[in-house]
Structure 1
Amino acid sequence: MENKDPLPQINHRFVSRVWIAAGIISFIVVALLLSWKANQVFLYTLAGAIIAIYFHGFAGLIARKTKISPKWSLPLSIILSISFLFGTFFLIGARVTGEVVQFTKEVPSLVEDAKNFIEGNSNIKLIYEKIASSKIVEKASLLLGGFFNSTVGVFGDIYIVLFIGIFFTAAPDQYKTGIVKLLPADMRLQGNNLIEKIVKNLRSWLKGMLFSMFVVFVLTSIGLAILGIDLWLVLALIAGLLSFIPNFGPIISIIPAALVALSKSPSTALWVIVLYCFVQLVESNFITPLVQQELIKTPPALIIISQVFVGIWLGAWGVILATPILVIVMVLVQELYIKKQDQKQSLSK
C-alpha cells in the first residue's frame, strides 16, 4: 500500500489559515481606517436614525390616541412636527431674532464688563488665571472649532442629516432587513432582536430628552423673566437646546446668561447662576431618573467618560451624540456579552 505524503495537505491548510488570518487583519485595518477617516458618515447615520425614531415614535403616539392607521399617522407626525416648528418660528421667531441680534451686538461690552468684574475681585481673578493657565479655554475652543469646521459645514451637516432621517423614516424596514441579511443565517433572528432592542432604548432616551429639554426651557424662562433679565427668551431657548448635551450643555448655557445678567449687576449675575444650578438640580434629580426608567442603567461617570472620549475622536458632534452612542454600546454589551455569561453561569450550576 502506497504511503501518501501528508506534507502538501498540511501546507495547504497552513496557507489557508494564513490567508484567512491576513483577510481578517486586513478587514480590521480597513474598518479602523474607515472609522477614523469617515467618522462623519457614522454621525450622519446615527443622527438620521434618531430623527426617524422620533417621527415613528410620534406617529405611534398619534395612532394610539386617535386610532388612525400607521399609513396616515406617519405622514401626519411629519406634517405636525414641521408645522409646529414653523408655527413656533412665526410666533416667537421675530422676538428671538431681535434678541439674538441685540445679544450679538452686546457681546463685546458684556465681555468687557466681565473682565472688569474679574479684575476688581482678587479671588475670582486668581481662579480665572488658574483656569486660563490650564489651557481649558484653548482646548474647549479647539473642540468647538471642530464642530464649525466639519467636512461640509454645519448647515451642510444638518441638510444631510435631515435627508438621511427622511429616507430612514420612509422605509425603515428596508434598511433593517438589509443589515440583518449581512449576518449569518443562524444569527439573523438574534440580529433582528438586537436592532429592535437598540431602537426601543433610543426611543425611550429621545422621549425623555425632549421632555427634559422642555422642562429646562420652561423653568429657565420663568426664572429669567422673574429676575427681569433682558433677552430671557433666547437665553431660555439656548438652555433648553443645550440640555440635550448632558453635563457640559448646562455649563455652557450659563455663560451667556451670566454675561447678560452681569451687565445689570454682579448680584443679578449671581442669582442667574443660582437659577441655572437649581434648574440643573431639578433636571438631574427628577427628570433624568424618569428618562432612565426604561433604559439600561448607565452610571453618570460613564456618560462623562464617553463624552470626553467620543469628543476627542469625533469632535463636537461626537459630544452631542455621545449619549446615544453610549446607549447603543450598553445594549450591545448587555445582549452580546453579559446575558451570555449569565446563561453560561446558570447552566454550570
Structure 2
Amino acid sequence: MKQTITPHAEPHDPATQKAAMAGEPVQQSPSEIQDPRLRHEVRKAAIWIGMTLLAALIVFFAQPLLVILGGVVFATMVDGGARLLGRVLPLGRGTRVGIVLVLTLIFLIWAIAYTGSQIATQAAEMPAVIQLQANRAVAWASAHGIDVGTADIKSLAQQMVTGVGPVTRALGGLIGGLTTLLMIVVLGVYLALEPRLYERGVAWMLPVEGRERFHETASRMGFALRRLLAGRLTGMAVEGVATGVALSIYGVPMAALLGLLTGLLAFLPNIGAPISGVLMILVGFSGGTDMGLFCIGVYIAVQSIDGYLIVPMVAKKTVDLAPALVLGAQLVFGVMFGILGLALADPIVAMVKIALERRAELNTERVRAES
C-alpha cells in the first residue's frame, strides 16, 4: 500500500527524501516506525539492551581483562623505576627498562637461592603452629565462659594459614596461577618498552575530537599510578624488612617467613595488614606470653610507620582515596575475581576516580565556554 510521507517520518534514504520533497507517494518499509514517541522509546530500549550486553561481556571476560590490567600495573612499576634511573643515568628508555628488569630478576634469584629453603621449611611448620594456637584460644575462651564454635575457629585458622577467604583462590585466568603471572609479566614488559605505541593505538579507536582528552586523562592516570605503586612498594619493603629483622633479633620462630608474608600482604591495604598481624601474633604466643606481646609491639610499630609516614608522603597526596571506598572495592573484587581482583582493586578505584574527575573538569569547562 502506498502513502505519502508525513513530516514525522524523517526518511533517511536519499531516493525517499527526494520523492517526499516532490510530493510523490513512496513505498514505506514495514519495519519503519512512524510514531516519533514510539521511535524514541525504541531507541531508549536499544541503549539499555546494549548496556546490559556490555556489562555481561565485561563479567564474562573479567579474568582476561584483569590480566591485561595487571600487565598495565606491572608496566607502571617498571616505568617508574626507569624514570628514576633516568634522573641519574643519561641512557635510552629501553636500556633503563632493561636495567630495571635485570635488577628485579637478580633480586628474585638471590631471594630464592639464599632464603628459599629456609622459608619453605618454615612454611611447612606454620600450619601446625597456627592450628595449635587456635585450639589454645578456643580452650581459653571456653574456660572464661565464652561460647566459641570449635569448628568455626578451626576453619578460620586454616583460612589464615593459606591467606584468608579470597586470598586463597588461585590467580585464575588462562591455565593457572603461574601462567597468569607469566602473562602479566610479558604484557607488562611490552607495555613498558613502548607505552606510547599502545596509547596511540587505543586513542586511534576513539573519535578524533576525544583523542586529546584521552591522552591527558591517560597521562594523569599514569602519574597517579606511579605514585600509588611507589608508595605501595616502599611500604612493602619497609614492613617486610623491619618485621623480619625485628622478629629475628628477638628469636621469634619463622621470622623470615613472617617478614616475607608481611611484605607481600602489604600490597593489599586494609586487608593484608590484619592478616599478617594475626599470623605474627599467633606464632609469637607459641613461644610464650613475652614473645607474643613483643610481636604485638612490632606489628603496631611497623604499621604506624607505614600508615603515618610512608602512605601520606607518597600515595595519599596523589590519589587521596577514601579508606572505606578502597576496602569496599577490595571485598567486592576479591569475592568476584579472587586474589587478582583483590590486588588490583586499589589501582582500579584510583583510575576510575581520575577518569571521573577529568570528566567533571571537562563538563565545567564546557559550561563556562557556553555561558
Q: TM-score, normalised by structure 2?
A: 0.81
Shift of 1:181: 1.3
Is residue 238 of structure 2 the alignment partner of residue 212 of structure 1? no
Return the alpha-carbon distance in structure 1 between the equivalents of residues 270 and 145 of structure 2.
25
Q: Is the 8 A contact 1:55 1:169 kept in 2?
A: yes
Q: How far off its partner does 1:304 sit? A: 1.3
- State the SS of the aligned residue for 1:126: coil
Q: Is 1:327 equivalent to 2:350 in the alignment?
A: yes
Measured in 2, the distance between the counterparts of 1:126 and 1:263 equals: 22
The one-letter code matched in structure 1 to 2:138 is: I
Q: Where does the alignment leave 5 or more consecutive residues of structure 1 unmatched?
A: none
Residue aligning to 1:9: 10
Q: Distance in 2 between matches of 1:158 and 1:124?
A: 47
User: In the TM superposition, what is the alpha-carbon distance from 1:39 to its structure 2 partner?
Assistant: 0.9
Q: Distance in 2 between matches of 1:131 and 1:192?
A: 54
Q: How does 1:306-345 map to 2 (within 5 A)?
A: 306-337=329-360, 339-340=361-362, 342-343=364-365
The equivalent of 2:309 in structure 1 is 286
**Cα deviation, residue 131, structure 1:** 11
Deviation of 1:44 (Å): 0.5
Indicate yes or no: 2:117 matched with 1:97: yes
SS class of match (2:252) = coil
1:241 maps onto 2:264 in alignment: yes
**Which of 121, 134, 143 in structure 2 is aligned with 1:114?**
134
Structure 1 CA distance for aligned equivalents of residues 221 and 83 of structure 2: 17
Write the letter of the residue equivalent to 2:132.
Answer: E
Where in structure 2 are the equivalents of 1:296-307 lying within 5 Å?
Answer: 296-307=319-330
- Give the Cα–Cα distance (whole angstroms) in 1 for the partners of residues 90 and 168 of structure 2: 47
Q: Kindly indicate whether the alpha-carbon contact (under 8 Å) linking 1:118 and 1:124 is maintained by their aligned counterparts in 2.
A: no
| The 10-residue stretch of structure 1 (5-14 or 77-86) with the greater mean CA deviation from structure 2 | 5-14
Give me the whole-angstrom Cα distance separating, in 1, the residues matched to 2:283 and 2:100. 38
How does 1:41-56 map onto structure 2 within 5 Å?
Answer: 41-56=64-79
Alpha-carbon shift at residue 148 of structure 1 (Å): 5.6
Cα distance in 1, alignment partners of residues 363 and 68 from structure 2: 31
Please tell me the residue identity of whatever aligns with 2:235. S
The reply to whether residue 262 of structure 1 matches residue 285 of structure 2 is yes
**Partner of residue 143 from structure 1, selected from 166, 170, 175:** 166
Q: 1:4 to 1:324 in 2, by over 3 A?
A: closer
Contact 1:213 1:244 in 2 (8 A): yes
Question: Superposed, which structure 2 residues align to 1:173-212 within 5 Å?
Answer: 173-212=196-235
State the alpha-carbon separation in 1 of the partners of residues 147 and 226 from structure 2. Answer: 42
> Contact 2:243 / 2:298 at 8 angstroms: preserved in 1?
yes
Say which is worse superposed, 45-54 or 266-275, in terms of deviation: 266-275
Determine if the alignment matches structure 1 residue 70 to structure 2 residue 86: no
**Aligned-partner Cα distance in 2 for 1:165–1:124:** 54
Identity of aligned residues (%): 21
In the other structure, the counterpart of 2:146 is: 126
Counterparts of 1:192 and 1:131, CA distance in 2: 54
Q: Displacement, 1:17?
A: 5.6
1:116 shift after superposition: 2.4
How far off its partner does 1:98 sit? 2.4
Preserved contact between residue 212 and residue 288 of structure 1 (Cα < 8 Å) = yes
Q: Distance in 2 between matches of 1:29 and 1:177?
A: 29
Aligned residues: 342
TM-score w.r.t. the length of structure 1 is 0.85
The one-letter amino acid paired with 1:175 is Y
Sort the Cα spacing of 1:98 and 1:4 in 2 relative to 1 into closer, same or farther, 3 A: closer
Tell whether the 8 Å contact from 2:93 to 2:193 is kept in structure 1 after alignment. Answer: no
For 2:16, the equivalent position in structure 1 comes to none
Residues 67 and 180, structure 2, Cα contact 8 Å, conserved in 1:
yes
Q: Counterpart of 1:161? A: 184
Give the superposed CA RMSD: 3.2
The Cα of 1:187 is off from its aligned counterpart by 0.8
Instruction: Flag structure 2 segments of 5+ consecutive residues without an equivalent.
Output: 12-32
Shift of 1:329: 1.0
Inter-CA distance 343–132: structure 2 relative to 1 (3 Å threshold): farther
Distance 1:18 1:234, change over 3 A: same
Confirm or deny that 1:230 pairs with 2:253: yes
Contact 1:56 1:74 in 2 (8 A): yes
Q: Which amino acid aligns with 1:34?
A: L
Does the Cα contact within 8 Å between 1:201 and 1:294 map onto a contact in 2?
Answer: no
Q: Which amino acid aligns with 2:120?
A: V
Which of 253, 271, 276 matches 2:276? Answer: 253
**Alignment deviations for residues 129-173 of structure 1 (CA, whole Å, 9 cap, x no partner):** 49949x988898552343366663222221221122122223322
Given that residues 119 and 125 in structure 1 are in contact (C-alpha distance below 8 angstroms), is that contact kept between their aligned partners in structure 2?
no
Tell me the amino acid that sits aligned with residue 186 of structure 1: E
Of 53-62 and 9-18, deviating more is: 9-18
